[in-house]
Amino acid sequence: MNELTVSDLVERFGNKLDLRWISGRRHADKRALSVASFRARPSLVGYLNLIHPNRIQVLGREELTWLDQLGAKKRWETIAEICAERPAALIVAGGGDIGDDLEELARDNETPLLRSARPGWELVSTLQYQVARALAHRVVVHGVFMEIFTLGVLITGDAGAGKSELALELLTRGHRLIADDSPEFTQMTPDIIDGTCPEVLRDCLEVRGLGVLNVRRMFGDAAVKPNKFLRLILHLHHPQRGEESSVDRLAGHSETSRVLDLDIPRILLPVLPGRNLAVIAEAAVRNFMLRMKGFDATADFLQRHGRFMRHE
């Protein structure tokens, strides 16, 4: 299971979120965040919650005001209860007053305590996203990941199927490259998979006979994109002899492919001499987008054909 310690968290995002240590820094390596499910409760990051304590408790203006309204004894007991749950960290947002009792109890319970001048909503939203991304399940899938008509499309196929050549043709037609050869996919939520490019392969596309091409230098900054949600897979397929006759002429060949915990729609594109795969790939993506909007060309044709036959 992936883990992220509080020390790692501050090192990665401390400057961006203006995080400053108050106490507990030497215990930060012992407090870690981990996740087994995106539906787990309590959440990893959130505002102060005594019923389902978050692993990172953020005390914004409203939470501090609520604590200030408690009597001295009740305030002490409440803060002691918060620290007794052993949160990964407490963060006081908006430059609010820490309070001697909060600092003392955090130190006694070895709880990492930080403060930030940033508002609470910014800390919670940013940390929720960054922590979920850092702990999410990842997988590397062989293929070329591109943005085609604003859609994240993974082009797969056997070695020599023409994936990179197709990607190159699509680039000349105005589409964008995200990653070649080894795109990395991360499951951000139960229904979203985000695809990115490893740092070492960024902007590069390998084409047989040409070697490695730098797409950014050749086509400009607009030809590359850092990430995109995976929505569709186009699989380049060399049909065997006689296999063409088994393909559904009306609906083509569509199925799903499992990526992490999601079934992603996959369309098989037969690789045959004389076919313009770039045009076919664009048509496949456009047709998929129409299906997402509720229009099915095959069903529409069959209904029209049925009406015609009944009329005859």
Could you say which DSSP state residue 224 is in?
A: B
**Nearest-angstrom CA–CA distance, 232 and 153:** 5
Which residue has tokens 């749950």?
85
Phi, psi for 132 (deg, rounded to 5): -60, -40
For 292, residues 6+ apart whose C-beta sits below 8 A from its C-beta are: none
Picking from 154, 144, 162, the residue whose alpha carbon sits closest to that of residue 237 is 162
Chain segment 45-80, per-residue pLDDT in tens: 889 988 888 889 999 999 999 999 999 999 999 999
pTM confidence score = 0.72
Task: Give the model's confidence band at 296: pLDDT under 50 very low, under 70 low, under 90 confident, else very high.
Answer: confident
Tell me if the bond preceding 42 is cis, omega within 30° of 0. yes
Which residues are marked as active site?
Answer: 142, 163, 181, 249
**Nearest-angstrom CA–CA distance, 230 and 214:** 23
CA quadruple 267, 271, 275, 279: dihedral, nearest 10: 30
Q: Looking at residues 262-267, what average pLDDT do you find?
A: 93
In order of their start, the domains of the chain are 3-135 (3.40.1390.20), 138-308 (3.40.50.300)
| pLDDT at position 57 | 93
